[in-house]
Amino acid sequence: MEALNLYGVQDIRYMNMPEPVLNSEDDVIIEVMAAGICGSDLSRYKKLGPYVKGMTFGHEFSGIVKEVGANVQSVQVGDRVAGCPAFHCGSCPSCQQGKLSQCEALTVLGARHPGAFATYVTLPERNVISLPEEIDYDTAALIEPSAVVAHGFYQTTIQAGADVAIIGCGSIGLLAVQWAKIFGAKRVFAIDIDEAKLDLARRLGADVIIHAAHSPVHEQMYQKTAGRGVDLAVEAAGSPVTSAQVLALPKKGGEVVFLGIPYGDVNVERFYFEKIVRNELRLYGSWNALSSPFPGREWEATVHFMKTGAIRVEPMITHRLPLREGPNAFRDMTNGGKGYVKALFHPQRYLF
């Protein structure tokens, strides 16, 4: 089968691999129909390298059940599915308290388990998500990042009628725009330096657009909120710069949730840091997408809102590629290739 394997920093290789076989009666082999490149994939490719040299990469995907173990009951061959790619230990103190995203041994598909940038991938039955017919494969490949965003919103105390700011309009930010509306936001402010991404944010429900390059973001925010700020600010860019700037966006007593991962030191100027203290802000870190019972309400809610059309991902998908183009795609995206928002691999579509 085809696969993209990560060997080192900026060393991802398109290879032929043996097809997987069932090693457990609880496992499911899935034929991959669509698999997305995550921002965390790009960061690991660019800066960190693999957990295990030569591991098949990728964790956002959808597909068709090809084979099931003898104990599998919830899905059968031919079913349309997506996958929860996270594995928790079940025995550490966090897991015992039902805080699965805080598992001390949390890992994901494509890190220490062969991932989804391949013709086939294997998951335990409990990690397999059945799809309603209303959700197509491309949309289903974004169930995982949508669940990640939902997990962050569930951390907060957002209520209907809130003003919400999203800083960073990549795929996570664009999903956050839609989740803010689902959680009842009255106004959603989308912030970025890319006009095309801001246009996408508007198409997906943002009410107010702020171009971060025009003037300081907090000054634009105050102009649009009568000097108050927003109830909730969501950091979705994963930039050291925005990770500080986001602190100046909430009103007094407001909240900040960090969804992005800044792979660099965050140097917080006094102006921004003092906002935490003087405005008595509440800050939330949000990691992965699990809650109890596994995999969590984030997944059930995502499937529901994708089914109803409240979460739309089609406008976000800018590239559909064969796996053999993987090395070039990663190189282009890392070097600032224009036009990328969400790139999907379609292993089956390009076999011939």
**Using one digit for the tens of pLDDT, what is the confidence trace for 8-27?**
999 999 999 999 999 999 99
Q: What is the pLDDT of residue 350?
A: 55
By three-state DSSP, how is residue 285 classified?
strand
Low-confidence ranges of the chain (pLDDT < 70): 350-352
Q: How far apart (Å, rounded) are the C-alpha atoms in residues 264 and 268?
A: 12
Q: Across-strand partners of 130?
A: 81
**Tell me, what's the pLDDT at 348?**
78
| 148: three-class secondary structure by DSSP | helix
Question: What pLDDT does residue 352 have?
Answer: 41
Q: Give the SS3 label for residue 38.
A: coil
Q: What is the pLDDT of residues 202-232, one digit of tens each?
A: 999 999 999 999 899 999 999 999 999 999 9
- Residue 293 backbone phi and psi in degrees, to 5: -75, 145
Query: d(Cα 54, Cα 43) in Å, to the nearest integer?
Result: 17
Sorted by where each starts, the structural domains of the chain and their CATH numbers stand as: 2-142+313-345 (3.90.180.10), 148-285 (3.40.50.720)
